[in-house]
Structure 1
Amino acid sequence: MDRKKITIVGAGNIGSTLALLLARRETADITLIDINEGIAKGKALDIMEASPILGFNAHVVGTGNYEDTANSDVVVITAGFPRKPGMSRDDLLFKNFEVVKSVSEQIKKYSPNAFVIVVTNPLDVMTYTALKVTGFPKEKVLGMAGALDAARFAYFISEKTKISVENIRAFVIGGHGDDMVPLKNYTTISGVPVTKFLSEEELNKIIERTRFGGGEIVQLLKTGSAFYAPAAAILEMVISILWNKRKIIPCSVYLDGEIGEYYGASGLCVGVPIVLGRNGVEEIIKLDLSEEEWQQWKKSVESVKRLVEKLHL
């Protein structure tokens, strides 16, 4: 059986961690591409030298040439400028727009049938950029946001309740920024609403920490941003597509038509729960939100819209 091919654009911390996670699961053969070819080749070689010990046969190669990425099944865009302490995700807008635009042009040229997963910040706007520049079907271009935000939310709940993370199903929608919307009504511990375990005040503190979870790590690291949990979140999305798992994962996707009207976000990419399978976005799920959650959602959508309008795409 031919193994699938995944290209990871950007061999930084997220890209290289993801390459190792994907290789260990033997998900696909992996091409790491970076503007600094030596970094891509060095990290790929390092991962392959771990393969006899970890026992995987997936192949990882590094390159600086987009021709080597041709005919990828999935392309993950992690390239771009990382956040520094004091920066919001939005501060990266114009710098990373140029990066994602040029990467998207190469993807369109060399892998016209690929699924594209965008990780570069500001996430929702960069997902929109990749969608517009590639011209790919909206089902095939999505942003990694909710999977990571929900994981952070779930971990903080586990830390507070002392209940296994495996029992916790957390839900976060909206833009991947400081206005994201963690949903307590849809967050459960073994099917029991989280509100049975934590007080309103405790939950609100956790929600606030979730919103600024990325910033907390940026402050601690001082020289970069989170990468282990983001790489794990991308892994979950890739496996759901390639292995047709049809998992429900909140992702940033393009909203239009009736679903766009329902969410009041037509013409934007924003984080909503989707069914993710071999066709990419197979279904977008409508959630009934409380009045307070709708208000938070609208604020989040407005933040995304403001940034998109700055780009004149």
Structure 2
Amino acid sequence: MARNGKVAVVGAGFYGSTTALRLAEYDIFEEVVITDIIEGKPEGIALDMNQSRPIEGFETKVTGQTTGLAGEGYEVLSGSDIVVITAGLPRKPGMSRMDLIETNAKIVRQVSENVAKHAPNAVVIVVSNPLDEMTALTQIATEFPKNRVLGQAGMLDTARFSYFVAEKLGVPVGAVKTLTLGSHGDTMVPVPSKCTVEVGGTPKPLTELLAPADVDALVDRTRNGGAEVVALLKTGSAYYAPSAAAAQMARAVAEDSGAVMPVCAWVDGEYGIEGVYLGVLAELGRGGVRKVVETALTDSELASLKEAAAAVRAKQADVQNL
């Protein structure tokens, strides 16, 4: 099997380490790198993952490297085609994603500057919260073309929506197709008009299968899906579903697949929205976002998307000075 390229994951917490393992087990990369500021942690995780290779049957090499606040160790990113930034503090119960903005902005800026220095040709996938704002900050700090910086949000939110619908209707998750746009937060825009459920081999609109109140309840649960996990865990935030989403995005970039996925991408004219990172459908390839893919929305869905854009734009302007 041909293995090509190098992908790096910055941050060896639950999210970062799970993402790195998923990427390694794809067995499509020559090397997966994982870094962290905790001395020895990434090296230990990499050693453990490498020892799983004979069992799981993958040949991708995993390299761990401790990094420092002055940039020590970041040279390990050299030659990376893709960098996934997971660095930052996770939420605690009762916290919103926005509560993390100042703390995580300092971390993400420092990481982004080192990515630009050592991996100047990489596509960067941001997963640090608050997601939309940290994606904008990463582009500012790296000065990369906007198509090469994107965020992971819609993949996760859509997966949550699909799962909740499947659970409610008692159908396989594979029978459900949903979509979420907008922000990764309070102005998330689940799109019921694009939601279908396969019944007897025929896709049927979600709105034909559930009452409006039930659809609204599923939308609200999706919007608060991360907080629900945080409240249950009490000492961290979600990482299994988020890491699956980030890894799939990285794979689409690495394989130049042209896959269309809901991601946080730069929007500049699509849907009548100008100059903002926002959750939309986008076609992904080796250069990152090939194009934003517009989909038909109802008037209320489009209004909600524009409302999300306005809210996110204001916050993204704030991060320039953080």
Distance (whole Å) between structure 1 residues aligned to residue 50 and residue 64 of structure 2: 11
* 2:152 is equivalent to residue 141 of structure 1: no
Q: Which amino acid aligns with 2:65?
A: T
Q: Select which of 223, 233, 238 maps to 1:221.
A: 233
- Aligned pairs for 1:80-95 (under 5 A) are 80-95=88-103
User: Structure 1: 5+ residue runs without aligned partners?
Assistant: none
TM-score when normalising by structure 2: 0.93
* 2:263 is equivalent to residue 251 of structure 1: yes
**1:40 match:** 42
* 2:313 is equivalent to residue 308 of structure 1: no
Return the offset for 1:70: 0.6
* 2:278 is equivalent to residue 276 of structure 1: no
**2:69 match:** none
What's the RMSD between the two structures over aligned residues? 1.3
After superposition, give the CA deviation of every residue in 1:157-182 in whole Å (9 maximum; x if it has no partner): 11111111112221000011022000
After superposition, give the CA deviation of every residue in 1:134-167 in whole Å (9 maximum; x if it has no partner): 1111111100000000000000011111111112
Return the offset for 1:2: 5.7
TM-score when normalising by structure 1: 0.95
- Aligned pairs for 1:197-236 (under 5 A) are 197-236=209-248
Q: Per the alignment, in what secondary structure is the counterpart of residue 223 of structure 1?
A: coil
After superposition, give the CA deviation of every residue in 1:90-109 in whole Å (9 maximum; x if it has no partner): 11111111111111100110
Q: Does the CA contact (< 8 Å) of 2:3 and 2:60 recur in 1?
A: no
Distance (whole Å) between structure 1 residues aligned to residue 236 and residue 112 of structure 2: 24
After superposition, give the CA deviation of every residue in 1:257-293 in whole Å (9 maximum; x if it has no partner): x32xx342x2211111111122321121223322221
User: Structure 2: 5+ residue runs without aligned partners?
Assistant: 67-72
Displaced runs of 4+ in structure 1, greater than 4 A?
none
Q: Which amino acid aligns with 2:79?
A: N
Return the offset for 1:294: 2.5
Q: Point out the more displaced range, 295-304 or 81-90.
A: 295-304
**2:70 match:** none
**1:114 match:** 122
Q: How many residues align?
A: 309
Distance (whole Å) between structure 1 residues aligned to residue 319 and residue 122 of structure 2: 25
Distance (whole Å) between structure 2 residues aligned to residue 263 and residue 212 of structure 1: 27
Return the offset for 1:296: 2.0
Q: Which amino acid aligns with 2:264?
A: S
Distance (whole Å) between structure 2 residues aligned to residue 163 and residue 263 of structure 1: 37
- Percent of aligned positions with the same letter in both sequences? 42
Q: Does the CA contact (< 8 Å) of 1:37 and 1:62 recur in 2?
A: no
